[in-house]
């Protein structure tokens, strides 16, 4: 009996704990318990509590089932979890907590029923309300900065004086009862993932936000997937206007100023065209003025039916007129398509010359100069297009990076300790003795925590309030589809080391890549001094396989041998003299090094063999000669290569790929294969580096932070390199 009683007690305690934790599996017991506890308590069953103020109210064991809670204020209400809430929005735990705390910062409320909730003065920055029901809710003075309101139902919702800067309102549902007075909004996005910024540049003037979306409320959108037949559209409007009462007053408007007015549409009729928009995928949106408080769904259906009927009548008429004349029918359709294209394309020159529609690569100079007295950084930001003068040039001051550098040094020590323990072989000259008495799990956990701290500190530094104007300029002038090359130009080696690939600007723009450059450089486009012995227009590659103790660098060599349209020369653990002579005597397009290397005293040191080591500066004249004969790219698939960056300015080497830190053998091999595959496929060198770097993510379960390692070094004056350019040089 004692055992049975103990088991019953344990089971009861477990059930009680799950009920208190609101476990859905015990929902029946929760409901029974709540019903029992509310017996004899205060009851508002089916009561109308619209706009009631329950702030700080103690609601223990209160029956609120099926009550009307429209705009009811539950801010800091106490013990609401013990109340009976079935039949109300407060049944949902996330909704209940939000109604009580009014703090939903960075929380997910996707697909929730929040109808009538009172969120006055709520903190909702970066909250996700995608496809939620916010009908008749109160969000007066709510902070909705960067909130996601995609497909939100907002009929009758009160947004007065809310802060909506940076919010996404894709396909939200609003009407005349939605309150948009005194909205505080500098800009917003019409598509998810921060796309389609409005305004495209600058900020909304006071009152512009409400003015813009009042226009959307008062119109009906007709979508035509394959262009518009203007004669059918004219017939549709004429029929719609004939059915309207003669006394109805509807303000008419003209076509968009960017389009020529359609001579077939009478703009003085009650139903009139407000604007026409080309969606660039063959679809056309015609926006029609709608009567106030009209049933837009019914009008939309009738307009579509009228248009389709008119279109069928017109096409039947043409069929009768030109029977058996297929050529004339084809001519009519071609003329109709041309007319649509000319009318809807806002740039006639681009329509006639498809080559002009090519989007050039954006070039961003990000120059950082460190002040010696306070360690602050002067930023000079220039934005332009490759091969052209910048169209924007501005400056700002960034706080000291010392805190970020301190985080990096802690991360670096942890990374190297972890690598020495679990990731051998690596391409750095490491001590022979192995670490003992180590806890791999603890090392990895520590590295993961330091990685997150460094990531947070780094992006926090770059989003400091002092550089907000520069960040806004970047967002205004860049598009997610742009090909972007960002040149980090600084002489501070500590800034080269930072994980720039984690910068939120690079993550926001998938076709961007950051390259590193020294502050001072001299670009030299060397003339070809000798006739290059090209063999069937092939790319000449010199592969230097250096000291490879514990490494399998033959894999690198095999990858190079499989490249198309290339000719490979291999030097295995050469002496200084052999390497020097090879660079002097034979023209090469690409120089490749694999083996052990390190950076000491700011200089990159390459281990050629068991006895010989050298810096690039010790090959200065040979490398200058190689550059004069056509050498354009050097790839150092070895460890700790940032010390080699000085070769950009000292040796006039145009393109350099190195590893920021010690690199495991397998990571180096996978990166090289993916890099050369993308490069030979036709991607530019920056795009190839980004693709190959991101493909390393699949290895990060074994080799943490592998995607942080590769770095492309390239001066701002150097145009992006392509495989085809190398091949035809």
Higher pLDDT, 20 or 88: 88
- Give yes or no for residue 124 having a pLDDT over 80: yes
The pLDDT score that the predictor gives to residue 57 is 92
What integer best gives the mean pLDDT of the chain? 80
- Give yes or no for residue 405 having a pLDDT over 70: yes
Higher pLDDT, 314 or 124: 124
The pLDDT score that the predictor gives to residue 286 is 82
d(CA 463, CA 455): 12
d(CA 199, CA 163): 16
Contact 195, 215 (CB under 8 A): no
What angle, 0 to 180 degrees and rounded to 10, lies between the N-to-C axes of helices 576-585 and 620-628?
A: 20
How much is the average pLDDT of 538-550? 86
DSSP 63-76: B-TT-B-TT-B-TT
Lowest-pLDDT range of 49-53, 63-67, 121-125, 346-350: 346-350
- Give yes or no for residue 264 having a pLDDT over 70: no
The pLDDT score that the predictor gives to residue 148 is 95
- Give yes or no for residue 212 having a pLDDT over 80: no
d(CA 363, CA 383): 6
Alpha helices in 535-575 (DSSP H): 554-561
Global pTM reads 0.52
The pLDDT score that the predictor gives to residue 351 is 35
- Give yes or no for residue 204 having a pLDDT over 60: yes
d(CA 97, CA 595): 58
* Range among 21-30, 569-578, 617-626, 631-640 with highest mean pLDDT value: 569-578
Per residue in 650-705, pLDDT tens? Answer: 666 889 999 888 888 889 999 999 999 999 998 999 999 999 999 999 998 888 99
Give strand pairing partners of 184: 163
What angle, 0 to 180 degrees and rounded to 10, lies between the N-to-C axes of helices 296-321 and 230-242?
A: 130
CA dist 510 to 33, 468, 478, 501, 721, Å? 53, 22, 12, 11, 19
Cis peptide leading into residue 301 (ω within 30°): no
How much is the average pLDDT of 572-597? 90
Provide the edge-to-edge strand list for the sheet that holds 377-385: 392-398, 377-385, 362-370, 484-489, 512-517, 710-714, 655-659, 633-637, 590-594, 539-545, 566-572
- DSSP one-letter code for 653: -
- CB within 8 A of 299, min separation 6: which ones? 220, 240, 290
* Range among 136-150, 314-328, 347-361, 650-664 with highest mean pLDDT value: 136-150
The pLDDT score that the predictor gives to residue 423 is 55
pLDDT band at 441 (very low <50, low <70, confident <90, very high): confident
- Give yes or no for residue 501 having a pLDDT over 80: yes
Provide the edge-to-edge strand list for the sheet that holds 603-607: 597-600, 603-607, 613-615
How much is the average pLDDT of 162-183? 88
DSSP 84-136: B-TTSGGGSHHHHHHHHH-B-TT-B-TT-B-TT-B-TT-B-TT-B-TT-B-TT
pLDDT band at 383 (very low <50, low <70, confident <90, very high): very high
Q: How many CA atoms lie within 13 A of 319 on its CB side?
A: 6
pLDDT band at 262 (very low <50, low <70, confident <90, very high): very low
DSSP 595-646: S-EEEETTEEEEE-SSS-EEEGGGGHHHHHHHHHTT--EEEEESSS-GGGGG
How much is the average pLDDT of 587-609? 81
* Range among 175-189, 214-228, 437-451, 579-593 with highest mean pLDDT value: 579-593
* Residue from 466, 310, 320, 440 nearest 379 by CA: 466
The pLDDT score that the predictor gives to residue 266 is 40
Alpha helices in 368-401 (DSSP H): none
How distant is the alpha carbon of residue 506 from its chain centre?
Answer: 8
The pLDDT score that the predictor gives to residue 568 is 92
d(CA 264, CA 229): 11
How much is the average pLDDT of 276-293? 70
How much is the average pLDDT of 541-563? 85
User: For the chain, how long is the longest CA-to-CA vector?
Assistant: 102
The pLDDT score that the predictor gives to residue 265 is 38
Per residue in 509-524, pLDDT tens? Answer: 989 999 998 887 666 5
- Using CB atoms within 10 Å of the CB of residue 533, give its burial: 0 to 12 exposed, 13 to 18 middle, 19+ buried: exposed
Higher pLDDT, 480 or 687: 687
The pLDDT score that the predictor gives to residue 39 is 59
Contact 379, 366 (CB under 8 A): yes
How much is the average pLDDT of 272-291? 71
Higher pLDDT, 708 or 428: 708
The pLDDT score that the predictor gives to residue 284 is 76
CA dist 437 to 440, 443, 655, Å? 10, 12, 43
Provide the token pair at 155: 């009929």
d(CA 572, CA 366): 39
> What percentage of the chain exceeds 70 in pLDDT?
76
- DSSP one-letter code for 170: T
d(CA 596, CA 594): 7
- Give yes or no for residue 380 having a pLDDT over 70: yes
Provide the token pair at 269: 């009729």
pLDDT band at 633 (very low <50, low <70, confident <90, very high): very high
Element (H, E) at 238: helix 230-242
- CB within 8 A of 453, min separation 6: which ones? 407, 410, 411
How much is the average pLDDT of 566-578? 91
* Residue from 104, 99, 103 nearest 88 by CA: 99
Number of other residues whose CB lies within 10 A of the CB of residue 37: 16
DSSP 282-340: S-EEEEEE--TT--HHHHHHHHHHHHHHHHHHHHHHHHHHTTT-HHHHHHHHHHHHHHH
The pLDDT score that the predictor gives to residue 249 is 37
- Give yes or no for residue 316 having a pLDDT over 80: no
Contact 277, 219 (CB under 8 A): no
- Give yes or no for residue 528 having a pLDDT over 80: no
């Amino acid at each position: 009996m004692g055992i049975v009683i103990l088991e019953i007690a344990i089971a009861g305690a477990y059930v009680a704990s799950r009920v208190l934790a609101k476990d859905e599996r015990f929902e029946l017991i929760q409901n029974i318990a709540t019903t029992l506890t509310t017996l004899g308590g205060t009851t508002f069953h089916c009561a109308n509590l619209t706009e009631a103020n329950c702030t700080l109210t103690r609601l223990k064991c209160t029956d609120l089932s099926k009550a009307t809670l429209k705009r009811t204020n539950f801010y800091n209400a106490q013990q609401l979890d013990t109340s009976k809430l079935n039949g109300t929005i407060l049944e949902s735990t996330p909704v209940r907590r939000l109604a009580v705390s009014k703090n939903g910062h960075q929380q997910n409320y996707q697909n929730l029923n929040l109808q009538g909730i009172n969120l006055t003065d709520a903190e909702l920055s970066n909250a996700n309300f995608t496809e939620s029901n916010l009908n008749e809710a109160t969000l007066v003075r709510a902070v909705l900065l960067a909130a996601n309101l995609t497909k939100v139902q907002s009929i009758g919702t009160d947004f007065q004086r809310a802060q909506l800067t940076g919010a996404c309102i894709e396909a939200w549902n609003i009407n005349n009862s939605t309150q948009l007075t005194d909205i505080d909004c500098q800009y917003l996005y019409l598509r998810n993932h921060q796309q389609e910024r409005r305004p495209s540049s600058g900020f909304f003037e006071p009152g512009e936000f409400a003015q813009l979306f009042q226009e959307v409320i008062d119109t009906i959108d007709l979508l035509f997937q394959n262009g518009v037949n203007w004669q059918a559209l004219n017939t549709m409007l004429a029929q719609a206007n004939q059915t309207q009462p003669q006394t109805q007053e509807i303000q008419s408007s003209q076509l968009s100023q960017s389009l020529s007015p359609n001579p077939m549409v009478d703009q003085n009729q009650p139903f009139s065209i407000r604007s026409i928009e080309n969606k660039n995928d063959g679809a056309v949106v015609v926006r029609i003025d709608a009567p106030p408080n009209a049933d837009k769904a019914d009008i939309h259906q009738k307009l579509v039916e009228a248009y389709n009927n008119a279109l069928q009548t017109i096409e039947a008429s043409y069929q009768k007129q030109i029977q058996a004349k297929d050529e004339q029918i084809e001519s009519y359709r071609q003329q109709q398509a041309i007319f649509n294209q000319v009318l809807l394309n806002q740039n006639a020159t681009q329509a006639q010359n498809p080559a002009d529609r090519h989007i050039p690569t954006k070039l961003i100079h990000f120059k950082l100069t460190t002040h010696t007295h306070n360690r602050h950084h002067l930023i000079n930001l220039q934005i332009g297009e490759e091969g052209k003068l910048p169209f924007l040039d501005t400056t700002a001051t960034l706080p000291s990076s010392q805190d970020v550098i301190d985080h990096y040094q802690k991360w670096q020590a942890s990374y190297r300790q972890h690598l020495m323990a679990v990731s051998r072989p690596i391409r750095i000259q490491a001590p022979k003795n192995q670490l003992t008495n180590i806890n791999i799990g603890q090392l990895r956990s520590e590295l993961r925590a330091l990685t997150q701290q460094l990531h947070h500190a780094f992006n926090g530094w770059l989003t400091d309030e002092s550089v907000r104007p520069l960040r806004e300029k970047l967002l205004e002038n860049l598009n997610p589809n742009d090909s972007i090359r960002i040149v980090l130009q600084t002489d501070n080696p500590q800034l080269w080391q930072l994980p720039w690939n984690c910068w939120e600007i690079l993550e926001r723009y998938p076709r961007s890549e950051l390259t590193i450059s020294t502050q001072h450089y001299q670009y030299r486009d060397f003339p070809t001094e000798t006739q290059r012995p090209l063999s069937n227009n092939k790319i000449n590659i010199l592969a230097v396989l250096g000291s490879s103790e514990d490494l399998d660098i033959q894999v690198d060599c095999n990858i190079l041998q499989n490249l198309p349209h290339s000719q490979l020369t291999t030097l295995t653990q050469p002496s200084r003299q052999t390497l020097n002579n090879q660079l002097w005597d034979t023209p090469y397009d690409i120089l490749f090094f694999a083996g052990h290397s390190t950076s000491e005293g700011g200089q990159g040191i390459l281990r050629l063999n068991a006895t010989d080591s050298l810096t690039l500066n010790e090959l200065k004249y040979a490398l200058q000669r190689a550059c004069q004969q056509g050498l354009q790219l050097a790839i150092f698939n070895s460890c700790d290569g940032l010390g080699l960056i000085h070769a950009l300015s000292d040796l006039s080497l145009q393109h350099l790929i190195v590893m920021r830190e010690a690199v495991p053998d397998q990571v180096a091999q996978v990166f090289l294969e993916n890099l050369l595959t993308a490069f030979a496929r036709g991607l530019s060198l920056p795009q190839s580096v980004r693709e190959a770097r991101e493909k390393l993510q699949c290895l990060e379960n074994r080799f943490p932070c592998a995607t942080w390692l590769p770095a492309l070094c390239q001066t701002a004056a150097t145009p992006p390199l392509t495989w085809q350019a190398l091949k035809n040089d």
